[in-house]
């Protein structure tokens, strides 16, 4: 069935930007669509208007003049019309901006790669300014040849580039009890996906000669003020953990751990220690502050679950999503992201009626392990209220739970590891709201 009318999605104005900035970007989109309509009317009328105006009526000013010269120096920035695409902090979430979170604007992004400039940030003690000349990585503990590496040393090892997501374990943490935040940026925006380049940790562990009989765990430590430490089981370390210096084709950004970070694919973000300065091989978990006080799950029986690092299968519709507005009935492409810490996404089903009926979405290639996967589904909105949901299944056949299923096991007192199905309500006026179904 061919869609007759193309619907439009208008992003919600964000109170973090001035009203003029928001209006400017809306106006340009509307006028683009209007000139498109005028162009088809013109074609139908045999081009009479074009002839009368000497053929220039539809030729915009920027086509009739010289543009700005080639920029030969400097670092390129997005168009000024895209100024609304910003990382945002949740006002009131954290009292200190140094120990805070900024969220990725998932509603504005395409494909699976997160531009480095809008990759969410989570710092426990602010962002240190690390001089790569002075930075060192120490590898020691139960090893034969302890090493102290400079950045130059690290970059001489054989390297790999791989696309993986990083998701903070607390992503969605505000929504355990009920709806708390309006947009997908805040519900799911502690999530990003990049092409990372670096050295496999297994390569470095080979170099130092791990004591394979006793060395079962690795402690990773950051060089920031929090000296953040996390224990990583050696199986993970040998499988696919990377010591990373490259992100999306360039050096890591300062906020993402410049010049060196750990990347533990599929595991909650906290294990991907930034500004990595030390790796110690040991025989048991360290039980550090970030493993005993934080990043633990309070279960309904009052027990704490520790070391539950894996990010389970999850998905979310990013468009249409909370805070956006559909302008008129007609065709919309529902699109979103799916991922699993256990491997590849196998299938994503989408419902527009709150889970009564499901249709299988198209998955955009490449579908990569422990990476974001883009899904899409055609939808003709008839103007009736809708309840949009997506539900992902991964290659290990884990199915994303709904809130009832998740709460039956986990209760409502957790912060971390909420992978429940998200519901967006489309109202008859086109407004989209974050809701949870009773």
Longest CA–CA span in the chain (Å) reads 86
Window of 19-27, 270-278, 318-326, 337-345 that interacts with ligand MTE by CB under 6 A: 270-278
Binding partner selected for residue 222 from Mo ion, ligand MTE, none, CB under the kind-specific 5 to 8 Å limit: ligand MTE
Q: Is 259 in the site for ligand MTE (CB under 6 A)?
A: no
Binding of ligand MTE by 270 (CB under 6 A)? yes
Distance CA(257)–CA(275), nearest Å, equals 5
What is the nearest approach in angstroms of ligand MTE to the Cβ of residue 87?
A: 10
Q: Which of residues 7, 12, 105, 119 is near ligand MTE by CB under 6 A?
A: 119
Q: Binds 123, which of Mo ion, ligand MTE, none (CB < 5 to 8 A, cut-off by type)?
A: ligand MTE
Among 22, 166, 350, 371, binds ligand MTE (CB under 6 A): 166
294, 301, 424, 435 from 304: Cα distances, Å: 10, 9, 31, 28
Contacts with ligand MTE, 170-209, as mask; x by CB under 6 A: ----------------------------------------
Q: Are 390 and 338 in contact (CB under 8 A)?
A: yes
DSSP characters over 323-343: T-EEESSEEEEEEEEEE-TTS
Minimum Å distance from CB 421 to Mo ion?
22
Tell me the torsion sign for CA atoms 345, 349, 350, 354. Answer: negative
Q: Using CB atoms, what's the residue nearest to ligand MTE? A: 222
Residue closer to ligand MTE (CB basis): 278 or 410:
278
Of 11, 172, 269, 341, which one interacts with ligand MTE (CB under 6 A)? 269
Which residues 6+ apart lie within 8 Å of 34 measured at CB? none
Does 135 bind ligand MTE (CB under 6 A)? Our answer is no
Coil, helix or strand at residue 398 = coil
Q: Among 7, 12, 118, 121, indicate the residue that binds ligand MTE (CB under 6 A).
A: 121
Q: Which residues contact 357 (CB under 8 A, 6 or more apart)?
A: 351
Q: How far is the CB of 199 from Mo ion (least distance, A)?
A: 23
**The token pair that represents 110 in the structure block:** 């395409």
Half-sphere exposure of 214 (CA within 13 A, CB side): 10
Contact 105, 118 (CB under 8 A): yes
By beta-carbon proximity to ligand MTE, the closer residue of 49 and 99 is 99
Token readout for 167 is 């998701």
Choose between 247 and 423: whose C-beta lies nearer to ligand MTE.
247
| Burial track 108-147 (b if 16+ CB lie within 10 A, e otherwise) | bbeebbbebebbbbbbbeebbebeeeebebebebbbeeeb
The residue ranges that bind Mo ion (CB under 5 A) are 122, 168, 269-270
* Residue 5 CB neighbours (<10 A): 11
Choose among ligand MTE, Mo ion, none what residue 388 binds, the Cβ cut-off being 5 to 8 Å by kind: none
168/193 with CB nearer Mo ion: 168
Residues interacting with ligand MTE, by CB under 6 A?
Answer: 119-124, 166, 168, 222, 224, 226, 228, 255-257, 269-270, 272-275
């Amino acid at each position: 069935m061919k869609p007759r009318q193309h619907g439009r999605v208008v992003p919600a104005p964000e109170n973090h930007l001035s009203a003029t900035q928001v209006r400017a970007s809306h106006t340009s989109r509307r006028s683009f669509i209007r000139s498109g309509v005028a162009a088809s009317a013109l074609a139908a009328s045999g081009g009479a208007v074009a002839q009368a105006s000497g053929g220039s009526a539809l030729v915009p000013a920027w086509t009739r003049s010289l543009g700005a010269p080639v920029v030969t120096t400097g670092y390129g920035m997005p168009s000024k019309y895209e100024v609304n695409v910003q990382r945002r902090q949740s006002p009131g979430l954290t009292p200190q901006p140094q120990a805070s979170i900024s969220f990725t604007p998932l509603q504005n992004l395409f494909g699976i790669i997160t531009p480095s400039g809008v990759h969410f940030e989570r710092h426990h003690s602010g962002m240190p300014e690390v001089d790569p000349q002075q930075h060192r990585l120490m590898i020691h503990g139960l090893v034969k040849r302890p090493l102290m590496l400079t950045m130059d040393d690290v970059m001489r090892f054989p390297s790999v580039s791989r696309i993986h997501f990083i998701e903070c374990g607390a992503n969605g943490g505000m929504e355990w009890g009920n709806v708390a935040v309006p947009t997908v940026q805040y519900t799911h925006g502690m999530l990003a996906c990049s092409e990372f380049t670096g050295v496999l940790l297994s390569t470095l562990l080979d170099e130092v000669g791990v004591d394979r009989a006793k060395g079962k765990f690795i402690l990773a430590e950051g060089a920031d003020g929090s000296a953040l430490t996390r224990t990583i089981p050696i199986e993970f370390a040998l499988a696919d953990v990377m010591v990373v210096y490259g992100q999306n084709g360039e050096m890591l950004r300062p906020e993402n751990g410049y010049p060196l970070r750990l990347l533990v694919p599929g595991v909650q973000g906290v294990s991907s220690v930034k500004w990595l300065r030390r790796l110690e091989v040991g025989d048991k978990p360290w039980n550090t502050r970030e493993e005993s006080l934080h990043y633990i799950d309070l279960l309904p029986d009052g027990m704490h679950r520790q070391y539950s690092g894996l990010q389970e299968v999850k998905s979310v519709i990013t468009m249409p999503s909370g805070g956006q507005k559909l302008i008129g009935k007609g065709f919309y492409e529902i699109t979103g992201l799916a991922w699993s810490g256990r491997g590849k996404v196998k299938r994503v089903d989408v419902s527009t009626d709150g889970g009564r009926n499901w249709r299988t979405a198209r998955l955009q290639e490449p579908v990569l392990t422990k990476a974001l996967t883009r899904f899409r589904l055609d939808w003709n909105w008839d103007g009736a209220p809708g309840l949009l949901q997506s539900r992902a299944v991964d290659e290990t056949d884990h199915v994303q739970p709904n809130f009832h299923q998740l709460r039956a096991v986990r209760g409502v007192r957790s912060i971390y590891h909420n992978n429940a199905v998200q519901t967006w309500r489309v109202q008859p006026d086109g407004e989209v709201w974050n809701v949870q179904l009773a």
